[in-house]
Amino acid sequence: MVRKKLDKKEIATAAGCIVLAVGGLTFYVWHQAALIQIGLQTGRLEEKIAGLKEDIQKLEMTRAALLAPARVDRIAREQLMLVEPQPEQLIYEDIQTTKDHE
């Protein structure tokens, strides 16, 4: 059995093919890892958004409870000692007359 010696051109071609194959596989593995990482990050961000939406809803409910007219009236009467105005304290303005003068 006689083995043929490989010349430099054949060796360079084989080395180039190996480098291209390794480079392609490396790129493929890197690409797949990047996709997995982006998917995981997207999942975490979606969970965070859902939590923030829930927090916003809770805060809106708390705001509504704090601004309830009955609560505001109770605080005004009990803590600030405010009372209903007396009839002589009320000032009425004729809105129609005011619009005519403008």
- Full DSSP string of 8-75: HHHHHHHHHHHHHHHHHHHHHHHHHHHHHHHHHHHHHHHHHHHHHHHHHHHHHHHHHHHT-HHHHHHH
Q: What is the pTM of this model?
A: 0.56
Identify whether 28 is part of a domain.
yes
d(CA 98, CA 95): 5
Which residue range forms the structural domain that includes residue 49?
8-82
Residue 27 is assigned to a structural domain of this protein: yes
Which of the pair, 91 or 95, is modelled with greater confidence? 91
Give domain status of residue 88, yes or no.
no
Q: Is residue 71 part of a domain?
A: yes
Residue 29: inside a domain: yes
Number of domains in the chain: 1
Half-sphere exposure of 24 (CA within 13 A, CB side): 6
Question: What is the tens place of the pLDDT at every residue in 15-57?
Answer: 999 999 999 999 999 999 999 999 999 999 999 999 999 999 9
Under DSSP, the state recorded for 85 is: P
